[in-house]
Structure 1
């Protein structure tokens, strides 16, 4: 994906995904979203539909390179934790909303 995603792009994106899945037989698809310039609900819908299409085909979907704004929006609508796996080190990402890291007073420092 690159540039802003338009509503009428979504069916083509899903069809392209189906073509790739049929041709490759892959168990996992990596969608590079680093070129997506607009983080909005149309982009979120595109990600959700791609995830659904991948899941229906029995494959995983990974997003590579989401901008901080897109990552935040996916978290906000619940897609980051529930539907979308993001490639990268989980330690580099922020924890899900509502989850705070805490240290008990009796815990030893590591």
Structure 2
């Protein structure tokens, strides 16, 4: 008697494509990265779209600018990116520049807790501030 063949095992889910950002990263690389991201976003429906930044171990402001441009490119298409494999140094630099919102991967991202607030410049109106003039307060 012949035994029936065993059913095939279900195929493992294919990992979603990701934009891999290599080091060193310069400003000249940004247009090519953004074009590649647009290409990937048109093909893949993953949202937020993963960007592997694990190679960026010594980030600088050119890296931060590039990541901000990538996020703006994705948002222009109604999507967003999520950084994957961000080093502590990259996370700290993103937090320092106020761009830590684009890092949404891992447990540490939720606890960055850095809030950047803009301060009014000279002669610029400050919102939500009520001034009270004291009678003995002489004008300058």
Separation of aligned partners in 2, 1:30 and 1:91: 15
Deviation per residue, 1:35-81 (Å, 9 max, x gap): 11321000000000000001111112100111111111100010003
Partner of residue 47, structure 2: 27
User: What is the number of residues matched between the two proteins?
Assistant: 96
Partner of residue 75, structure 1: 95
Change (3 A) 1:61 1:45: same
Q: Secondary structure at the match of 2:40?
A: helix
In proportion to residue count, which structure has more helix?
Answer: 1
Separation of aligned partners in 2, 1:45 and 1:97: 19
Which ranges of structure 1 fall in alignment gaps of 5 or more residues? 99-110
- C-alpha RMSD over aligned residues: 2.0
Which ranges of structure 2 fall in alignment gaps of 5 or more residues? 1-20, 117-140
Q: Secondary structure at the match of 1:86?
A: coil
